[in-house]
Structure 1
Protein backbone atom coordinates (compact mmCIF):
# COMPACT_ATOMS: atom_id res chain seq x y z
CA UNK A 1 0.00 0.00 0.00
CA UNK A 2 2.82 2.41 0.85
CA UNK A 3 5.24 1.35 -1.90
CA UNK A 4 4.51 4.36 -4.11
CA UNK A 5 4.70 6.75 -1.15
CA UNK A 6 8.07 5.31 -0.10
CA UNK A 7 9.46 5.55 -3.65
CA UNK A 8 8.30 9.18 -3.87
CA UNK A 9 10.01 10.11 -0.59
CA UNK A 10 13.21 8.28 -1.58
CA UNK A 11 13.27 10.04 -4.95
CA UNK A 12 13.18 13.42 -3.18
CA UNK A 13 15.94 12.36 -0.75
CA UNK A 14 18.34 10.91 -3.33
CA UNK A 15 17.79 13.72 -5.85
CA UNK A 16 18.33 16.32 -3.10
CA UNK A 17 21.60 14.65 -2.10
CA UNK A 18 22.78 14.87 -5.70
CA UNK A 19 21.61 18.47 -5.94
CA UNK A 20 23.55 19.45 -2.81
CA UNK A 21 26.66 17.79 -4.26
CA UNK A 22 26.56 19.87 -7.42
CA UNK A 23 26.27 23.22 -5.67
CA UNK A 24 29.56 24.38 -7.17
CA UNK A 25 27.88 25.92 -10.18
CA UNK A 26 28.60 29.50 -11.31
CA UNK A 27 26.16 31.92 -9.69
CA UNK A 28 24.94 33.25 -13.04
CA UNK A 29 23.98 29.72 -14.13
CA UNK A 30 22.27 28.94 -10.81
CA UNK A 31 20.37 32.22 -11.04
CA UNK A 32 19.09 31.47 -14.54
CA UNK A 33 18.22 27.87 -13.64
CA UNK A 34 16.31 29.06 -10.58
CA UNK A 35 14.46 31.64 -12.63
CA UNK A 36 13.58 29.03 -15.26
CA UNK A 37 12.33 26.63 -12.57
CA UNK A 38 10.35 29.40 -10.86
CA UNK A 39 8.65 30.32 -14.13
CA UNK A 40 7.87 26.65 -14.77
CA UNK A 41 6.40 26.36 -11.28
CA UNK A 42 4.18 29.41 -11.94
CA UNK A 43 2.92 27.96 -15.23
CA UNK A 44 2.22 24.63 -13.52
CA UNK A 45 0.36 26.43 -10.75
CA UNK A 46 -1.78 28.40 -13.21
CA UNK A 47 -2.66 25.19 -15.03
CA UNK A 48 -3.71 23.59 -11.73
CA UNK A 49 -5.65 26.66 -10.60
CA UNK A 50 -7.74 26.56 -13.77
CA UNK A 51 -9.02 23.07 -12.91
CA UNK A 52 -11.69 24.57 -10.65
CA UNK A 53 -15.32 24.09 -11.67
CA UNK A 54 -16.52 26.88 -9.34
CA UNK A 55 -13.72 29.37 -8.71
CA UNK A 56 -15.85 31.26 -6.20
CA UNK A 57 -15.29 28.28 -3.86
CA UNK A 58 -11.54 28.66 -4.32
CA UNK A 59 -11.69 32.38 -3.60
CA UNK A 60 -13.86 31.94 -0.49
CA UNK A 61 -11.63 29.15 0.80
CA UNK A 62 -8.48 31.22 0.30
CA UNK A 63 -9.96 34.26 2.06
CA UNK A 64 -11.23 32.31 5.06
CA UNK A 65 -8.11 30.13 5.15
CA UNK A 66 -5.85 33.18 5.05
CA UNK A 67 -7.52 34.67 8.12
CA UNK A 68 -7.26 31.39 10.05
CA UNK A 69 -3.69 30.75 8.90
CA UNK A 70 -2.55 34.26 9.80
CA UNK A 71 -4.07 33.92 13.28
CA UNK A 72 -2.26 30.60 13.74
CA UNK A 73 0.86 31.93 11.97
CA UNK A 74 1.60 28.55 10.39
CA UNK A 75 4.33 30.05 8.21
CA UNK A 76 6.29 31.15 11.27
CA UNK A 77 5.92 27.73 12.90
CA UNK A 78 7.09 25.88 9.78
CA UNK A 79 10.07 28.19 9.48
CA UNK A 80 10.87 27.57 13.14
CA UNK A 81 10.90 23.84 12.43
CA UNK A 82 13.25 24.51 9.52
CA UNK A 83 15.55 26.66 11.65
CA UNK A 84 15.51 24.05 14.44
CA UNK A 85 16.71 21.37 12.01
CA UNK A 86 19.18 23.83 10.48
CA UNK A 87 20.71 24.58 13.90
CA UNK A 88 21.30 20.88 14.48
CA UNK A 89 22.82 20.32 11.07
CA UNK A 90 25.31 23.14 11.52
CA UNK A 91 27.54 23.70 8.51
CA UNK A 92 25.76 20.95 6.54
CA UNK A 93 22.73 23.23 6.22
CA UNK A 94 24.03 25.41 3.46
CA UNK A 95 21.76 27.81 1.59
CA UNK A 96 18.31 28.97 2.63
CA UNK A 97 17.28 25.91 4.65
CA UNK A 98 13.86 27.16 5.78
CA UNK A 99 12.92 28.43 2.31
CA UNK A 100 13.99 25.15 0.72
CA UNK A 101 12.13 23.06 3.31
CA UNK A 102 8.88 25.03 3.24
CA UNK A 103 8.77 25.69 -0.52
CA UNK A 104 9.62 22.10 -1.50
CA UNK A 105 7.12 20.67 1.01
CA UNK A 106 4.28 22.78 -0.36
CA UNK A 107 5.18 22.04 -3.99
CA UNK A 108 5.58 18.27 -3.54
CA UNK A 109 2.54 17.85 -1.28
CA UNK A 110 0.17 20.00 -3.32
CA UNK A 111 -1.56 19.10 -6.54
CA UNK A 112 -3.67 16.43 -8.16
CA UNK A 113 -0.94 13.76 -8.18
CA UNK A 114 -0.31 14.25 -4.45
CA UNK A 115 -3.98 13.30 -3.87
CA UNK A 116 -4.74 10.91 -6.72
CA UNK A 117 -1.44 9.03 -6.38
CA UNK A 118 -1.88 7.81 -2.79
CA UNK A 119 -5.61 7.31 -3.41
CA UNK A 120 -4.80 4.91 -6.25
CA UNK A 121 -2.19 3.17 -4.09
CA UNK A 122 -4.63 2.70 -1.21
CA UNK A 123 -7.75 1.83 -3.16
CA UNK A 124 -6.40 -0.29 -6.01
CA UNK A 125 -2.77 -1.02 -5.12
CA UNK A 126 -1.76 0.82 -8.31
CA UNK A 127 1.40 2.89 -7.80
CA UNK A 128 1.89 4.19 -11.36
CA UNK A 129 0.76 7.74 -10.55
CA UNK A 130 3.13 7.99 -7.60
CA UNK A 131 5.97 6.53 -9.67
CA UNK A 132 5.34 9.25 -12.24
CA UNK A 133 5.20 11.87 -9.48
CA UNK A 134 8.50 10.51 -8.13
CA UNK A 135 10.24 11.27 -11.43
CA UNK A 136 8.84 14.81 -11.51
CA UNK A 137 9.60 15.48 -7.83
CA UNK A 138 13.07 13.95 -8.14
CA UNK A 139 14.07 16.26 -10.97
CA UNK A 140 12.58 19.28 -9.18
CA UNK A 141 14.31 18.33 -5.90
CA UNK A 142 17.67 18.08 -7.66
CA UNK A 143 17.36 21.59 -9.07
CA UNK A 144 15.92 23.08 -5.88
CA UNK A 145 18.61 21.47 -3.68
CA UNK A 146 21.38 22.75 -5.94
CA UNK A 147 20.22 26.31 -5.23
CA UNK A 148 18.34 26.25 -1.91
CA UNK A 149 20.35 23.58 -0.11
CA UNK A 150 19.64 20.53 2.00
CA UNK A 151 16.34 21.88 3.36
CA UNK A 152 14.72 20.40 0.23
CA UNK A 153 15.75 16.91 1.36
CA UNK A 154 13.83 17.22 4.64
CA UNK A 155 10.63 18.01 2.73
CA UNK A 156 10.48 14.25 2.08
CA UNK A 157 9.31 13.74 5.69
CA UNK A 158 6.04 15.74 5.59
CA UNK A 159 5.42 14.55 2.01
CA UNK A 160 5.72 10.92 3.17
CA UNK A 161 3.44 11.49 6.18
CA UNK A 162 0.83 13.38 4.13
CA UNK A 163 0.65 10.91 1.25
CA UNK A 164 0.98 7.94 3.58
CA UNK A 165 -2.03 9.15 5.56
CA UNK A 166 -4.12 9.38 2.38
CA UNK A 167 -2.99 5.92 1.18
CA UNK A 168 -3.65 4.20 4.53
CA UNK A 169 -7.15 5.62 4.90
CA UNK A 170 -8.03 5.43 1.20
CA UNK A 171 -9.67 2.05 1.70
CA UNK A 172 -12.22 3.77 3.94
CA UNK A 173 -12.75 6.86 1.77
CA UNK A 174 -14.87 5.16 -0.89
CA UNK A 175 -17.21 3.85 1.82
CA UNK A 176 -18.39 7.33 2.86
CA UNK A 177 -17.41 9.70 0.04
CA UNK A 178 -19.53 9.39 -3.14
CA UNK A 179 -17.59 9.42 -6.46
CA UNK A 180 -19.25 12.68 -7.56
CA UNK A 181 -18.21 14.45 -4.35
CA UNK A 182 -14.68 13.03 -4.58
CA UNK A 183 -14.32 14.29 -8.16
CA UNK A 184 -15.37 17.81 -7.15
CA UNK A 185 -13.13 17.77 -4.08
CA UNK A 186 -10.08 16.82 -6.14
CA UNK A 187 -10.80 19.56 -8.72
CA UNK A 188 -11.20 22.31 -6.10
CA UNK A 189 -8.31 21.12 -3.93
CA UNK A 190 -6.08 21.04 -7.01
CA UNK A 191 -7.15 24.57 -7.91
CA UNK A 192 -6.33 25.90 -4.43
CA UNK A 193 -3.01 24.06 -4.57
CA UNK A 194 -2.34 25.74 -7.91
CA UNK A 195 -2.74 29.16 -6.31
CA UNK A 196 -0.24 28.09 -3.63
CA UNK A 197 2.26 27.05 -6.28
CA UNK A 198 1.90 30.31 -8.25
CA UNK A 199 2.65 32.20 -5.01
CA UNK A 200 5.69 29.99 -4.36
CA UNK A 201 6.98 30.67 -7.87
CA UNK A 202 6.61 34.43 -7.35
CA UNK A 203 8.40 34.14 -4.00
CA UNK A 204 11.29 32.26 -5.61
CA UNK A 205 11.57 35.03 -8.20
CA UNK A 206 11.61 37.55 -5.32
CA UNK A 207 8.69 39.35 -6.94
CA UNK A 208 6.76 39.26 -3.67
CA UNK A 209 6.77 37.51 -0.31
CA UNK A 210 3.54 35.61 0.20
CA UNK A 211 3.28 33.57 3.42
CA UNK A 212 2.02 30.54 1.53
CA UNK A 213 1.96 28.27 4.58
CA UNK A 214 -0.58 30.60 6.20
CA UNK A 215 -2.95 29.72 3.36
CA UNK A 216 -2.91 25.99 4.19
CA UNK A 217 -6.20 26.09 6.19
CA UNK A 218 -7.83 26.88 2.83
CA UNK A 219 -7.54 23.17 1.98
CA UNK A 220 -9.74 22.28 4.95
CA UNK A 221 -12.19 25.07 4.12
CA UNK A 222 -12.51 23.74 0.55
CA UNK A 223 -13.51 20.33 1.88
CA UNK A 224 -16.10 21.90 4.21
CA UNK A 225 -17.64 24.15 1.53
CA UNK A 226 -17.74 21.50 -1.21
CA UNK A 227 -19.20 18.93 1.18
CA UNK A 228 -21.83 21.42 2.37
CA UNK A 229 -22.85 22.29 -1.21
CA UNK A 230 -23.03 18.60 -2.15
CA UNK A 231 -25.16 17.88 0.93
CA UNK A 232 -27.60 20.66 0.04
CA UNK A 233 -27.84 19.41 -3.57
CA UNK A 234 -28.59 15.88 -2.40
CA UNK A 235 -31.28 17.07 0.02
CA UNK A 236 -33.02 19.33 -2.46
Structure 2
Protein backbone atom coordinates (compact mmCIF):
# COMPACT_ATOMS: atom_id res chain seq x y z
CA UNK A 1 0.00 0.00 0.00
CA UNK A 2 1.35 3.41 -0.99
CA UNK A 3 1.39 5.84 1.96
CA UNK A 4 4.36 8.19 1.35
CA UNK A 5 2.47 10.70 -0.83
CA UNK A 6 -0.27 10.96 1.79
CA UNK A 7 2.28 11.61 4.53
CA UNK A 8 4.06 14.23 2.43
CA UNK A 9 0.81 15.89 1.39
CA UNK A 10 -0.39 16.00 5.00
CA UNK A 11 2.89 17.61 6.07
CA UNK A 12 2.50 20.42 3.53
CA UNK A 13 -1.18 20.91 4.41
CA UNK A 14 -0.59 21.01 8.17
CA UNK A 15 2.46 23.23 7.78
CA UNK A 16 0.50 25.67 5.63
CA UNK A 17 -2.37 25.82 8.12
CA UNK A 18 -0.12 26.19 11.16
CA UNK A 19 2.01 28.87 9.53
CA UNK A 20 -1.02 30.90 8.40
CA UNK A 21 -2.60 30.73 11.86
CA UNK A 22 0.62 31.71 13.65
CA UNK A 23 1.67 34.35 11.11
CA UNK A 24 1.02 37.30 13.43
CA UNK A 25 2.74 35.62 16.38
CA UNK A 26 5.94 34.53 14.70
CA UNK A 27 8.83 37.00 15.18
CA UNK A 28 9.69 38.94 12.04
CA UNK A 29 13.35 37.97 12.27
CA UNK A 30 12.42 34.29 11.95
CA UNK A 31 10.14 34.87 8.97
CA UNK A 32 12.88 36.79 7.19
CA UNK A 33 15.80 34.49 7.99
CA UNK A 34 14.30 31.02 7.65
CA UNK A 35 13.46 31.15 3.88
CA UNK A 36 17.14 31.76 3.19
CA UNK A 37 18.02 28.75 5.32
CA UNK A 38 15.48 26.60 3.46
CA UNK A 39 16.88 27.89 0.19
CA UNK A 40 20.38 26.90 1.29
CA UNK A 41 19.07 23.47 2.30
CA UNK A 42 17.47 23.08 -1.13
CA UNK A 43 20.74 23.97 -2.84
CA UNK A 44 22.67 21.49 -0.68
CA UNK A 45 20.18 18.72 -1.46
CA UNK A 46 20.52 19.61 -5.13
CA UNK A 47 24.31 19.36 -4.96
CA UNK A 48 24.09 15.91 -3.34
CA UNK A 49 21.91 14.70 -6.23
CA UNK A 50 23.98 16.35 -8.96
CA UNK A 51 27.26 14.76 -7.88
CA UNK A 52 25.71 11.31 -8.40
CA UNK A 53 25.31 11.93 -12.13
CA UNK A 54 26.59 9.14 -14.36
CA UNK A 55 26.51 10.90 -17.74
CA UNK A 56 27.24 14.62 -17.41
CA UNK A 57 26.23 15.42 -21.03
CA UNK A 58 22.82 13.84 -20.38
CA UNK A 59 22.21 16.13 -17.41
CA UNK A 60 23.28 19.24 -19.33
CA UNK A 61 21.31 18.35 -22.47
CA UNK A 62 18.18 17.46 -20.47
CA UNK A 63 18.24 20.77 -18.60
CA UNK A 64 18.81 22.79 -21.76
CA UNK A 65 16.18 21.06 -23.91
CA UNK A 66 13.70 20.82 -21.04
CA UNK A 67 14.08 24.51 -20.20
CA UNK A 68 13.70 25.43 -23.86
CA UNK A 69 10.51 23.39 -24.09
CA UNK A 70 9.16 25.00 -20.92
CA UNK A 71 9.88 28.45 -22.32
CA UNK A 72 8.16 27.63 -25.61
CA UNK A 73 4.96 26.47 -23.90
CA UNK A 74 5.04 29.28 -21.29
CA UNK A 75 4.91 26.75 -18.46
CA UNK A 76 5.91 29.13 -15.68
CA UNK A 77 3.42 31.71 -16.87
CA UNK A 78 0.68 29.09 -16.70
CA UNK A 79 1.68 28.05 -13.19
CA UNK A 80 1.75 31.71 -12.22
CA UNK A 81 -1.83 32.13 -13.39
CA UNK A 82 -2.89 29.11 -11.35
CA UNK A 83 -1.09 30.61 -8.36
CA UNK A 84 -2.87 33.92 -8.89
CA UNK A 85 -6.27 32.18 -8.99
CA UNK A 86 -5.44 30.25 -5.84
CA UNK A 87 -4.45 33.47 -4.10
CA UNK A 88 -7.65 35.17 -5.21
CA UNK A 89 -9.73 32.26 -3.95
CA UNK A 90 -8.03 32.29 -0.57
CA UNK A 91 -8.39 36.06 -0.25
CA UNK A 92 -12.13 35.79 -0.86
CA UNK A 93 -12.38 33.29 1.95
CA UNK A 94 -9.90 34.76 4.39
CA UNK A 95 -9.01 38.38 3.79
CA UNK A 96 -9.53 41.24 1.30
CA UNK A 97 -7.30 41.35 -1.74
CA UNK A 98 -4.40 43.71 -2.21
CA UNK A 99 -4.17 46.24 -5.02
CA UNK A 100 -0.40 46.54 -4.67
CA UNK A 101 0.95 45.22 -7.98
CA UNK A 102 4.47 44.77 -6.61
CA UNK A 103 3.08 42.69 -3.74
CA UNK A 104 1.07 40.60 -6.22
CA UNK A 105 4.16 40.00 -8.34
CA UNK A 106 6.25 39.08 -5.29
CA UNK A 107 3.56 36.64 -4.19
CA UNK A 108 3.55 34.91 -7.57
CA UNK A 109 7.34 34.62 -7.63
CA UNK A 110 7.37 33.03 -4.18
CA UNK A 111 4.34 30.88 -4.88
CA UNK A 112 5.77 29.45 -8.09
CA UNK A 113 9.02 28.70 -6.27
CA UNK A 114 7.37 26.70 -3.51
CA UNK A 115 5.08 24.90 -5.99
CA UNK A 116 8.21 23.64 -7.71
CA UNK A 117 9.90 22.93 -4.38
CA UNK A 118 6.99 20.83 -3.13
CA UNK A 119 5.63 19.32 -6.36
CA UNK A 120 8.58 19.01 -8.73
CA UNK A 121 11.64 18.39 -6.59
CA UNK A 122 13.88 15.53 -7.61
CA UNK A 123 13.53 14.12 -4.09
CA UNK A 124 9.73 14.01 -4.22
CA UNK A 125 9.58 12.55 -7.71
CA UNK A 126 12.28 9.97 -7.09
CA UNK A 127 10.85 9.15 -3.66
CA UNK A 128 7.40 8.53 -5.13
CA UNK A 129 8.77 6.27 -7.86
CA UNK A 130 11.01 4.48 -5.39
CA UNK A 131 8.10 3.69 -3.08
CA UNK A 132 5.97 2.52 -5.99
CA UNK A 133 8.53 -0.13 -6.86
CA UNK A 134 9.98 -1.12 -3.47
CA UNK A 135 7.41 -0.03 -0.89
CA UNK A 136 10.12 1.98 0.91
CA UNK A 137 8.66 5.24 2.25
CA UNK A 138 11.87 6.58 3.84
CA UNK A 139 12.63 9.14 1.10
CA UNK A 140 9.22 10.78 1.24
CA UNK A 141 9.10 10.69 5.03
CA UNK A 142 12.44 12.48 5.19
CA UNK A 143 11.13 15.05 2.70
CA UNK A 144 8.01 15.50 4.84
CA UNK A 145 10.06 16.67 7.84
CA UNK A 146 11.53 19.47 5.73
CA UNK A 147 8.26 20.29 3.99
CA UNK A 148 6.18 20.80 7.15
CA UNK A 149 8.55 23.46 8.45
CA UNK A 150 9.08 25.00 5.02
CA UNK A 151 5.33 25.24 4.43
CA UNK A 152 4.80 26.79 7.86
CA UNK A 153 7.42 29.48 7.32
CA UNK A 154 6.15 30.43 3.86
CA UNK A 155 2.54 30.40 5.04
CA UNK A 156 3.34 33.17 7.51
CA UNK A 157 3.70 35.51 4.53
CA UNK A 158 1.68 33.76 1.80
CA UNK A 159 -1.21 32.61 3.97
CA UNK A 160 -3.48 29.61 3.54
CA UNK A 161 -2.65 29.41 -0.20
CA UNK A 162 0.39 27.33 0.79
CA UNK A 163 -1.86 24.57 2.15
CA UNK A 164 -3.56 24.31 -1.27
CA UNK A 165 -0.28 23.09 -2.78
CA UNK A 166 -0.74 19.82 -0.89
CA UNK A 167 -3.43 18.76 -3.38
CA UNK A 168 -1.44 18.94 -6.65
CA UNK A 169 1.57 17.51 -4.83
CA UNK A 170 -0.49 14.52 -3.69
CA UNK A 171 -1.90 13.95 -7.17
CA UNK A 172 1.54 14.11 -8.80
CA UNK A 173 3.17 11.81 -6.27
CA UNK A 174 0.37 9.26 -6.36
CA UNK A 175 0.50 9.19 -10.17
CA UNK A 176 4.27 8.69 -10.10
CA UNK A 177 4.12 6.02 -7.40
CA UNK A 178 1.48 3.99 -9.22
CA UNK A 179 3.10 4.57 -12.61
CA UNK A 180 6.49 3.47 -11.30
CA UNK A 181 5.34 -0.14 -11.47
CA UNK A 182 5.47 0.19 -15.25
CA UNK A 183 8.31 2.71 -15.59
CA UNK A 184 10.99 1.42 -13.22
CA UNK A 185 11.47 -2.01 -14.89
CA UNK A 186 12.40 -0.15 -18.06
CA UNK A 187 15.10 1.92 -16.36
CA UNK A 188 18.68 1.28 -15.29
CA UNK A 189 20.63 2.57 -12.31
CA UNK A 190 22.43 5.01 -14.61
CA UNK A 191 19.14 6.39 -15.93
CA UNK A 192 17.87 6.85 -12.38
CA UNK A 193 21.08 8.62 -11.36
CA UNK A 194 20.90 10.97 -14.36
CA UNK A 195 17.25 11.65 -13.58
CA UNK A 196 18.08 12.48 -9.96
CA UNK A 197 20.91 14.75 -11.10
CA UNK A 198 18.53 16.75 -13.29
CA UNK A 199 16.21 17.03 -10.31
CA UNK A 200 19.19 18.26 -8.32
CA UNK A 201 19.78 21.06 -10.84
CA UNK A 202 16.17 22.16 -10.39
CA UNK A 203 16.49 22.04 -6.61
CA UNK A 204 19.69 24.09 -6.77
CA UNK A 205 18.02 26.71 -8.98
CA UNK A 206 15.00 26.71 -6.66
CA UNK A 207 17.28 27.40 -3.71
CA UNK A 208 18.68 30.47 -5.48
CA UNK A 209 15.14 31.63 -6.17
CA UNK A 210 13.92 31.14 -2.60
CA UNK A 211 16.92 33.05 -1.26
CA UNK A 212 16.21 35.87 -3.70
CA UNK A 213 19.68 35.63 -5.23
CA UNK A 214 18.60 34.86 -8.79
CA UNK A 215 15.06 34.36 -10.12
CA UNK A 216 15.68 31.30 -12.27
CA UNK A 217 12.64 30.27 -14.39
CA UNK A 218 12.45 27.03 -12.42
CA UNK A 219 8.96 26.04 -13.53
CA UNK A 220 10.05 26.21 -17.16
CA UNK A 221 12.79 23.71 -16.32
CA UNK A 222 10.34 21.00 -15.19
CA UNK A 223 10.16 19.28 -18.64
CA UNK A 224 13.83 18.41 -18.12
CA UNK A 225 12.69 15.76 -15.64
CA UNK A 226 10.55 14.15 -18.34
CA UNK A 227 13.42 14.14 -20.84
CA UNK A 228 16.15 12.94 -18.48
CA UNK A 229 15.60 9.18 -18.65
CA UNK A 230 14.90 8.96 -22.41
CA UNK A 231 17.99 11.03 -23.18
CA UNK A 232 20.05 8.90 -20.79
CA UNK A 233 18.87 5.71 -22.51
CA UNK A 234 19.60 7.18 -25.94
CA UNK A 235 23.05 8.30 -24.84
CA UNK A 236 24.01 4.83 -23.66
CA UNK A 237 22.63 3.28 -26.85
CA UNK A 238 24.49 5.66 -29.15
CA UNK A 239 27.76 6.09 -27.27
Q: Does 1:13 align with 2:18?
A: no
Moved more, 104-113 or 221-230: 104-113
RMSD: 2.4
1:61-210 superposed matches below 5 A: 61-90=62-91, 92=94, 97-175=107-185, 177-178=186-187, 181=188, 183-210=189-216
CA contact (8 A) 1:97 1:151 kept: no
Moved more, 32-41 or 214-223: 32-41
Shift of 1:114: 1.9
Q: Normalization by structure 2: what TM-score?
A: 0.84
Shift of 1:49: 2.0
1:201-221, Cα deviation, whole Å (9 max, x unpaired): 222222222111111111122
71 and 173 in structure 1: CA distance in 2 versus 1, 3 angstrom threshold: closer
66 and 128 in structure 1: CA distance in 2 versus 1, 3 angstrom threshold: closer
Q: Distance in 2 between matches of 1:44 and 1:172?
A: 27
The number of residue pairs the alignment matches comes to 229
1:187-213, Cα deviation, whole Å (9 max, x unpaired): 112211221122222222222221111
Shift of 1:104: 2.1
35 and 116 in structure 1: CA distance in 2 versus 1, 3 angstrom threshold: closer
Q: Distance in 2 between matches of 1:148 and 1:185?
A: 37
CA contact (8 A) 2:15 2:149 kept: yes
Gaps of 5+ in 2: 98-102
Q: Distance in 2 between matches of 1:56 and 1:231?
A: 14
Gaps of 5+ in 1: none
Shift of 1:108: 2.4
Name the counterpart of 2:235.
229
Name the counterpart of 1:53.
54
Q: Distance in 1 between matches of 2:220 and 2:48?
A: 22
46 and 22 in structure 1: CA distance in 2 versus 1, 3 angstrom threshold: same
Shift of 1:134: 2.0
Q: Distance in 2 between matches of 1:40 and 1:165?
A: 27
Shift of 1:97: 4.6
Name the counterpart of 1:211.
217
Q: Distance in 2 between matches of 1:64 and 1:114?
A: 22
CA contact (8 A) 1:101 1:153 kept: no
